[in-house]
Structure 1
């Protein structure tokens, strides 16, 4: 079926309904400013305000945090000889043409996105949608990549675990596409036809959101629509250490004690698999692994006495060699094959290599029981959990709710991770919690933190971990944790230079973890390298108020902590080529070293001025600089008009004065913008060429050259020096 003829049925400010023939309807909503929702399918599935069936509503809850339209538009007939209508909302419009059928999204009077000649078609529950691609147009988003951030000429399948897919695609020229489904979606980004972006959707109903805005606003609208992350606790912003696979918990606690003696900052420890909790024989709730943790309280206390919090692995799984397996199978609490028998997965690290079955988290009682048990574990003192469940679940596995195939592969990790976040966050307002996971799925941006990819201990590995963070950030996820190296890969190639360059990048990121491998801990290196490590760690803890502020900003704007050049400067085509430099929050431009040597090139985006943090010099944008940096520095530039609020140096966040976490403020030119900083109460107002700032009481202020500071009670005036 092709949408060749439409009949206008109903018109409302928030919805336009067309009869598409054969019992099908096309519903178009001006869903939000610059956002149009396109639904097409059987009349009852697209025209109803309430989705039929509990499972459909459950799936919708996973996909959309705000399903109702909040926009309104005016419907007008198209002018000229073309028959059709124009749906206008603000500075965006959607043209609906007939004979042939075509949709075109316009922004500021210019085409932003248009259906290609193939248009929209349905063949046996497979929808196909095609969009025109301009010759020079790049495509960003759609999940994790270790290569070029531009995804053009790739093919991405939503439920293939190795494709690491996320559902949002956008172009710097001001368009975005989100396919709202848990079913399989194949994105052909010009691989088959260079001038077309083709989407194939295995679903009975077509449900698309089309965006027309700057990329930053697209992420804002997308995350308002699909949900945003909660906040992490302050302690989780400190440095982490990941346990070595040959160390027991006690040996890891001894390493943390040594870190404290050496004044190496640390706040969290992530213990490696297997899971800390298992289903014991004849028990239907997970209990502490008695062999590894004979005294759970003693294990937790061994870290608490060093002011360190624990993160531990878990998995909604039961080993098949336990009597509990049979009892849970009889209850119908496990994912089953079509025959009704529990599906057995081969062993993984979290199960210590033992074959296992997965709890059926689509079953409400199972999900609630699993979440509630982890809430009790959090109350016992476990600070964070880690859980990877994105297994390649076979198509013949069926959940109790009837989900199977791509839908189950997309839904299962979302249910697991959300249940854990709710368990950790408890009743905190706003919700705070950390759940480590490498899983990617629709709605993943609602949760912190994304685990780092496992990369080689090489310069190429450093590039890979950075590109993966920037690519998922461009897809709507706010934070990726970085790992400083990989304890499971050969470590001989990790030189002191590479180690310090990796650390420098990680310090200017959402967060990172040291590896407890004897050759990857800071104490493994020479005295000069250790001195540089201390310098970088001091920077990290001073940056915590700013980075946490950037995470809080993500909960308001949808923008990630590490922002690619294409996302931040869509109109500057030259900036897009510099895809291993990034903005950290809105104020800092970071150009980490990606190869050996002290000379590092950085591109300063045009249209703005930039202040070198290392020298205090000011540069106009649109220029390429070569900056010579020793191993204790990187090219970092402050964006004119912004401020950087810094905290004190510390060995852990427990040393922070919660009543006065800020210590100093750096200014990059005349302050114009309110600073990004945790629990921000600093406000900037401009008047007669000066800036008046409230909220800087008791802080050291470092203005840019040519500015002077005058304090008047609780107010600070920044003006030009006379």
Structure 2
């Protein structure tokens, strides 16, 4: 029995207070939108099936799947017939109580009790209240599962089909439930496994558990800040908004939460705007959960000998892609989708003029326009190497003014970018006209509540908002008009496509789906809708449009296949490991591993309400951090005013110029690697583990990266540092600034003055 209910709350109460939501979880998945983005297109390899008396084997060119009938166990082998992944052996008695909770405020004190067994499930209850206002709209307050767990025991029936094998599996459930399983070869060198509990009534969670091998590490999972190798961690696959370090309160919050220096408020250290359910294992396979429902990974946190994937609901599909690290990355990014190749100018340097909000000196149309023209004058006066300029507040300006600004930028060979968001609102953000909100609600373009009324929520800017319903054809047509206004009428070259995470579980969509499946799936529908419009414009005009996003969810046919780039989402303007400059590398490398490799940081950090604006030192170190990352873009300070490169004075301006010129020097290499990644799936910027998977230090290194195989980058992310300790993997490495050569593997300490970025070339190479 589910102890979940549906409630509808008035707009006034949503706006004035934070309320709890417990949404009824349905058992049907959201319709998956076909991914028309460029992926590897690897065809399904036909398989040979051998239906033995005790064993079933399915084999093709990618490897082999073996089913042991009694006791039940499924094992996966690579093309060389080496075992790479296997279910744990059957375990569990007749009564196995289960309990798991994402604790309020991201703390970690309550023990979990989850059954590690083949094809397990829980009969019981799930609660999942969400925040309904503040910057954290749509985040879990907590999420808990409680009940009794059962598991598969033996194969009762097996049938070969045209696509693979169908199994009926007995369980230790005294009510007689069975598990229906389908095994088949899938695209991108993978095997697909689908399980469904029958009868489904009362089931709140399904899971599968696998043997955790010695030295195995796990890489990917989207834009996580907490670790580059997730072994030993718990991860929730549920998009969460605006998780931040505690700033001045960090010493207390980190201790009180039990999470240490990586703690983020309000959802904990694993929270992320951009989720991927895919990962590559150094054990010789890639793995992807194919579900938009709330789900979780326990990667050896609760049991040192096993890892588990579990999903809310009654069924689950996952894919296993046997192969070494680079082959796994190719398979996973092919399944998920890969960021589109940009123009070199889209890599930056780019300057962004955000709208100042929530301040006594907040912008209006007059002050904002004056700042834009002052920026252009400064670019001219200082002869800055700027390739792009964003003015996010274009909606509050007269249309002729925006046209004039864009023409002025184009006259300087600067790409012009604008801004749009997934919801309409009445707030102080100044990023859309007030009448847009009224029009969208009157015409029925927004998501509704259970009563069929517009579902209103409190926005991060202190007003009321409503999410646009991208399953409604009329709303899509209206949205197309807004996109074409930017790109065709005003002739902008691209835009930031913001938000997408504020989806409550009890929202109702035009196509009949609810927030249960759409919370995670919504960004994919959002970004695909925009991509289709852009594809049409590009086909008819020959232009190239660049847009970057915040929220995303990239399981199979995910949002990454439709985007140009991602920004990490309002980093804090500090040095913190939780959400400041020291969180960037882990985020970039984790999301890049499975196809989302167009990382686009906010130089200077954006969220500064509780930490203050970036200092000159932090701004400079952030600029050099971005120099050898995919995209170099200034975007910062929401409440304290934008910090352009000239804000801090001549010295900082020259430091920024040096970082920008380094980025321009490396841009041809970044473009070549990005182009190669369209086929190989290996990200341009990659963790050391990709090239050195047997090196334990390389698998853990989360403050360095490789730009291709021959450039090692080690930015400074520590306040006051003048040197940098760097780990060099096997081989000869040359420190570019000094010419000194070192033989790895070893640690070295190199000078790191404020106007520099420590980086190395592999000896004998000259990448740029």
In the alignment, does 2:423 pair up with 1:304?
no
Q: 1:561 is matched with which residue?
A: 684
CA drift of 1:642 comes to 5.1
CA drift of 1:361 comes to 0.7
Q: Summarize deviations over 1:550-585 as a string: whole Å, max 9, x none.
A: 222222222223211223321111222322110013
TM-score, with length taken from structure 2: 0.68
CA distance in 2, matches of 1:132, 1:64: 34
- Contact 1:378/1:423 (CA < 8 Å) preserved in 2? no
Within 5 Å, give how 1:52-67 maps onto structure 2: 58-59=32-33, 61=35
* Aligned partner of 2:533 among 423, 435, 440: 423
Q: Summarize deviations over 1:665-692 as a string: whole Å, max 9, x none.
A: xxxxxxxxxxxxxxxxxxxxxxxxxxxx
CA drift of 1:508 comes to 0.6
Q: 1:385 is matched with which residue?
A: 495
- Contact 2:339/2:565 (CA < 8 Å) preserved in 1? no
Q: Summarize deviations over 1:579-633 as a string: whole Å, max 9, x none.
A: 2110013331111123233322222212x33333234454433222222233333
The structure with higher relative contact order (CA 8 Å, sep 6+) is 2
Q: Provide closer, same or farther for how the CA distance between residues 341 and 529 of structure 1 changes in structure 2, counting only shifts above 3 A.
A: closer
CA drift of 1:520 comes to 3.4
CA distance in 1, matches of 2:50, 2:381: 73
Q: Summarize deviations over 1:499-524 as a string: whole Å, max 9, x none.
A: 33322221010112224767833323
* Aligned partner of 1:315 among 406, 421, 428: 421
Within 5 Å, give how 1:387-466 maps onto structure 2: 387-428=497-538, 432-442=544-554, 443-446=558-561, 447-460=563-576, 461-466=580-585
Within 5 Å, give how 1:133-212 maps onto structure 2: 133-162=212-241, 163-164=271-272, 165-203=275-313, 205-212=315-322
Q: 1:502 is matched with which residue?
A: 622
Q: Provide closer, same or farther for how the CA distance between residues 205 and 356 of structure 1 changes in structure 2, counting only shifts above 3 A.
A: same
CA drift of 1:441 comes to 0.9
In the alignment, does 2:709 pair up with 1:586?
yes
Q: 1:576 is matched with which residue?
A: 699
How many pairs does the alignment contain? 572
Within 5 Å, give how 1:629-648 maps onto structure 2: 629-639=752-762, 643-644=766-767, 646=768
CA distance in 1, matches of 2:513, 2:65: 35
Q: 2:82 is matched with which residue?
A: 110
Q: 2:591 is matched with which residue?
A: 472
Within 5 Å, give how 1:61-80 maps onto structure 2: 61=35, 69-76=43-50
Q: Provide closer, same or farther for how the CA distance between residues 147 and 388 of structure 1 changes in structure 2, counting only shifts above 3 A.
A: same
Q: Provide closer, same or farther for how the CA distance between residues 68 and 300 of structure 1 changes in structure 2, counting only shifts above 3 A.
A: closer
- Contact 2:223/2:568 (CA < 8 Å) preserved in 1? no
In the alignment, does 2:479 pair up with 1:370?
yes
In the alignment, does 2:483 pair up with 1:360?
no
CA drift of 1:314 comes to 1.3
Where does the alignment leave 5 or more consecutive residues of structure 2 unmatched? 1-26, 90-116, 121-196, 242-270, 357-362, 428-433
CA distance in 2, matches of 1:493, 1:312: 24
CA drift of 1:378 comes to 0.5
Q: Provide closer, same or farther for how the CA distance between residues 295 and 455 of structure 1 changes in structure 2, counting only shifts above 3 A.
A: closer
TM-score, with length taken from structure 1: 0.72
Where does the alignment leave 5 or more consecutive residues of structure 1 unmatched? 1-44, 46-52, 278-288, 647-722
CA distance in 1, matches of 2:650, 2:41: 57
Q: Provide closer, same or farther for how the CA distance between residues 410 and 63 of structure 1 changes in structure 2, counting only shifts above 3 A.
A: farther
Q: CA RMSD in A?
A: 3.3
Structure 1 stretch displaced more, 204-213 or 299-308: 299-308
CA drift of 1:323 comes to 8.0
CA drift of 1:477 comes to 1.0
Q: Summarize deviations over 1:241-300 as a string: whole Å, max 9, x none.
A: 121424513312312321221122212222346xx45xxxxxxxxxxx4x5656432232
Task: Specify the SS of the correspondent of 1:116.
Answer: coil
Q: 2:352 is matched with which residue?
A: 242
In the alignment, does 2:705 pair up with 1:626?
no
CA distance in 2, matches of 1:317, 1:455: 21
Task: Specify the SS of the correspondent of 2:372.
Answer: helix
CA distance in 2, matches of 1:330, 1:240: 38
CA drift of 1:315 comes to 2.7
